[in-house]
């Protein structure tokens, strides 16, 4: 199998608002396993950031409950096989060791025998969440979560899907049952992916909590919003593990300035239409409310500028 090229980050990888309308849904798309993971131009940079977070904030970014070890091993083996087949130019596997030669990093698999998901999270850009079936539905049993978007792993570990998604407006009434049914019916042979999005005034990948009282938000206006507001997209995959039957949820995070939408000017119009279509609760959830007026002013005037050219 030929090696796959790195994803380019010169322009935003995903534009999940192209319809210009908002609809609360799962938005599931079939996934081919050769495209399971998406290493990109920031591969080494983000691996270094993960290494730093796992050193300084270990309990905040990694958690595993008892009984998850077998599924953790399964995930690590699947990741090693995938990276070895499609991205062996990024990692080197030799004698039970994994080498990231460009960063002078090496990992002995034996060192991570207790929590192999810890190692798995160190060799890919994706965050990894392991969900196990149980009497209360699927629960989060282990996770390597270095790049959270306004949620803390310590608050979610061991909790079922409905509790994990409690901050999402209308999740309980509109999505909880469809999501539970989907998880029950997901098969090994048919993995899927979807894209989630939000806006933020902070480009950092590690954002476990929503910052409050940040004066910089007040300085965002229609002239600078393009460089001060960031589109944060998560490419999420769901895959049933063939041996344990658990579900692996991966999250690849992309962050781009809103001004980067210029490569496809109609995106300014689409995003403005979508922002106007969001309920007040969803605007708050997606971090838009504090600078909505400034953002819409920027999007409108920027799109009109392209229209006049």
User: pLDDT 10s digit of each residue in the chain, 309 long?
Assistant: 568 888 889 999 999 886 655 455 568 899 999 999 999 999 999 999 999 999 999 999 999 999 999 999 999 999 999 999 999 999 999 989 999 999 999 999 999 999 999 999 999 999 999 999 998 889 999 999 999 998 999 999 999 988 888 777 777 777 788 888 999 999 999 999 999 999 999 999 999 987 665 557 889 999 999 999 999 999 999 999 999 999 999 999 999 999 999 999 999 999 999 999 888 888 888 878 889 999 999 999 999 987 665
Q: Degrees (nearest 5) of the Cα angle 4, 7, 9?
A: 165
Q: Is residue 231 part of a domain?
A: yes
The residue segments making up the domain with residue 256 are: 35-308
Q: Is residue 14 part of a domain?
A: no
Q: Is residue 23 part of a domain?
A: no
Q: Is residue 268 part of a domain?
A: yes
Q: Is residue 183 part of a domain?
A: yes
Alpha-carbon distances, residue 279 vs 13, 22, 147 (angstroms)? 26, 9, 26
Report CA torsion sign: 60, 207, 197, 212.
positive
Q: Is residue 3 part of a domain?
A: no
Q: Is residue 192 part of a domain?
A: yes
Let me know: does 26 contact 182? Beta carbons within 8 Å. Answer: yes
Q: Is residue 29 part of a domain?
A: no
pTM to 2 decimals? 0.94
Total domains in the fold of the chain: 1
What is the spatial distance between Cα 9 and Cα 22, in angstroms, rounded to a whole number?
26
What is the spatial distance between Cα 172 and Cα 160, in angstroms, rounded to a whole number?
12
In this structure, how many other beta carbons lie within 10 angstroms of the beta carbon of residue 50? 22
């Amino acid at each position: 199998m030929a090696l796959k090229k790195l994803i380019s980050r010169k322009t935003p990888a995903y534009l999940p608002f192209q319809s210009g309308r908002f609809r609360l849904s799962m938005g599931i798309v079939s996934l081919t396993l050769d495209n399971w993971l998406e290493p990109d131009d920031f591969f080494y940079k983000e691996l270094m950031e993960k290494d730093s977070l796992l050193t300084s904030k270990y309990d905040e970014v990694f958690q595993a409950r008892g009984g998850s070890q077998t599924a953790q091993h399964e995930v690590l083996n699947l990741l090693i096989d995938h990276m070895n087949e499609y991205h062996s130019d990024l990692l080197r596997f030799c004698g039970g060791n994994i080498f990231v030669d460009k960063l002078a990093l090496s990992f002995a698999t034996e060192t991570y025998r207790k929590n192999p998901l810890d190692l798995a999270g160190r060799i890919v850009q994706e965050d990894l969440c392991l969900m196990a079936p149980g009497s209360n539905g699927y629960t989060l049993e282990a996770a390597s979560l270095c790049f959270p978007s306004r949620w803390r792993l310590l608050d979610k570990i061991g909790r079922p899907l409905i509790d994990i998604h409690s901050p999402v407006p209308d999740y309980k009434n509109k999505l909880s049952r469809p999501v539970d049914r989907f998880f029950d019916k997901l098969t090994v042979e048919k993995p899927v992916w979807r894209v989630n999005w939000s806006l933020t005034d902070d480009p950092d990948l590690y954002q476990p909590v929503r910052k409050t009282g940040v004066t910089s938000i007040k300085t965002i206006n229609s002239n600078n919003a393009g460089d001060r507001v960031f589109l944060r997209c998560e490419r999420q995959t769901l895959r049933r593990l063939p041996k344990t039957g658990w579900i692996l949820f991966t999250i690849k995070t992309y962050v781009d300035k809103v001004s980067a939408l210029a490569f496809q000017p109609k995106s300014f119009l689409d995003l403005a239409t979508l922002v106007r279509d969001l309920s007040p609760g969803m605007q708050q959830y997606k971090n838009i409310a504090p600078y909505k007026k400034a953002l819409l002013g920027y999007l409108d005037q920027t799109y009109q500028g392209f229209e006049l050219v």
